[in-house]
Amino acid sequence: MSRLESVIRRLSAQRDILDRVCADMADIPGPVIELGLGNGRTFDHLRERLPGRRIIAFDRVLGAHKSSIPPEGDLVLGEISETAARFAGINAALVHADIGTGYDDRDAVTLTWLPQLVESLLGPGGIAVSGLPLVHPRLEPLPLPDGVPDGRYFLLRHTE
């Protein structure tokens, strides 16, 4: 499979998972955390699906399209492992992390801190959606929506 086909499947899985999560999220209080704003496409999708919900976005540097830049106070720039750690305990309803690089060695370094960070940001019952697999004792994998193949995008729930 070409990398073009692969990214189409990955983005489609991302959309399908986020749509399911957003539809079920009315009863979970708390903000949404976007780790890796990037171009801002997912941020744009989340604010469309979750009107009125605060979304705080993090990135190393600002690379978003001007139409998809969060309002002042909801954008935090700098090393995500450091900046987002300051928000531990915020009791987020949803943490979405799309910070894979496509390089296994770099992603392995990210995975030394990302699961713990995501866990620390989520409130009880909060949902994690991630492009990298998160393994943590308090993050329970959930079944994916119908039609989403395993292994492209990951869905978990904070268990306490």
**Binding site residues, its own copies, CB under 8 A:** 2-8, 11-12, 14-15, 39-42, 44-45, 48-49, 65-68, 102-103
Q: Which is nearer to its own copies, 3 or 143 (CB)?
A: 3
Cα–Cα distance measured from residue 77 to residue 60, given in angstroms and rounded to the nearest whole number: 5
Range list of β-strands (E), 28-119: 32-35, 55-59, 75-77, 92-97
3-state class (DSSP) for residue 101: coil
Nearest approach in angstroms of CB 134 to its own copies is 21
Nearest approach in angstroms of CB 88 to its own copies is 28
- Backbone phi and psi for residue 120, each to the nearest 5 degrees, phi listed first: -70, -20
Nearest approach in angstroms of CB 138 to its own copies is 28
DSSP code, position 38: T
